[in-house]
Amino acid sequence: MSGGLTATHQREREIDIFKGLLVLGMIYCHCLQFFSDQMIFPQGQQFIDVINLITFSGFVFSFGYVCQLAYYSKPFSRVWHRMLVTAIKTLLAFYISGTAFRLFIDKRPLEWNTIRPILLLSDMPGWSEFLSSFTYLIVLGLLLFVPLKWVIGRKWMGFSMAGILLLTTFIPYEAIQVVALAPLLGTRDFASFPVMQYFSYYLLGMLFARYRIAWDLRVLAGAVIASGAFVWKWLSSANASLPERFPPSIWWVVGPALLLYGYYLLSRLMEKYPLPFFPLEAIGRNVLWYLVMSNVLIFALKSNQPLLLLGLLDTLWMELGLLGVIGFCIWIITKPTRRTAHINKTKI
């Protein structure tokens, strides 16, 4: 399993940094959810809410961005198999994370009856559903390869389609009872990250990559309006409760727009200083490794230390420890590949 989609051109290091920022937030959020008590450390919930708001949308945006560079800028005949391989790797990541959750957290036995529903996508274990959604996202991007290239080739049509897709948040979620459809369309039966409702960010990622969008007052205005609508809905609701996340309301989907645009601009700034932010870039190049391995390690540790309780700072130290372990494992696993590449380069 590789790190998934990566930006290979020198000018695209910023998207790896962008993904690295998202990975840091996501792992910290997962550590807080498993090893911190928000009744004792109430500030933790604020971090969790913000990270939950931006993370999946941010990853969908980055997928669209990198797919535009790696796939949609090339003929379909040259890249369809690579897209398929990426989807398979992401599906394997879901299988690993989902199985680990059932074994370590739910204490289910390691037997066929536990694994089979996960393999058939009829069971969506907690903290792993997003990985199945990434699989659906790549497959959908593959199936719609030609129309997506056509739409993105017409800039304002692309932005218009991104807006129109927000209407998918109004589908009757209660009518969706098939578990395997939840990663595509959503459901009210369990937590899911439906691809159709977040697909606007995939298109936006493609547009940003296709047209080299950076600082743009029009983008800023759109992001302010989108996030402003989220804040208005949040503050005007009863008890100032956040807009619905599972399944996502239109307010939840548009909410992270301004923060993500800020992340994107920040990553472009950080890209100008390679050395200090190289670790962050390395994390962004190996997203799947970090997401899957961190999940497995967190599930295993929670199973072994069910009473472990950490504050915000201690949770941060835990995350840094996890990142160190995962980074070392990736270095060990990929070391033979790097050595082979060096030998081949020397022979050439």
What's the whole-model pTM score?
A: 0.94
* pLDDT by 10s per residue, the chain, length 348: 545 555 544 458 999 999 999 999 999 999 999 999 988 989 999 999 999 999 999 999 999 999 999 999 999 999 999 999 999 999 999 999 999 999 999 999 999 999 999 999 999 999 999 999 999 999 999 999 999 999 999 999 999 999 999 999 999 999 999 999 999 999 999 999 999 999 999 999 999 999 999 999 999 999 999 999 999 999 998 888 999 999 999 999 999 999 999 999 999 999 999 899 999 999 999 999 999 999 999 999 999 999 999 999 999 999 999 999 999 999 998 876 555 554 444 343
Q: Which amino acid is at 16?
A: D
Of all helices (H) and strands (E), which one includes residue 311?
none
The rounded distance, in Å, linking the Cα atoms of 281 and 180 is: 33
First-residue to last-residue Cα distance in the chain: 27
Yes or no: say if 210 and 68 are a contact pair by the CB < 8 Å rule.
yes
Distances in Å between the Cα of 119 and the Cα atoms of 111, 122, 137, 178 are 13, 8, 18, 15
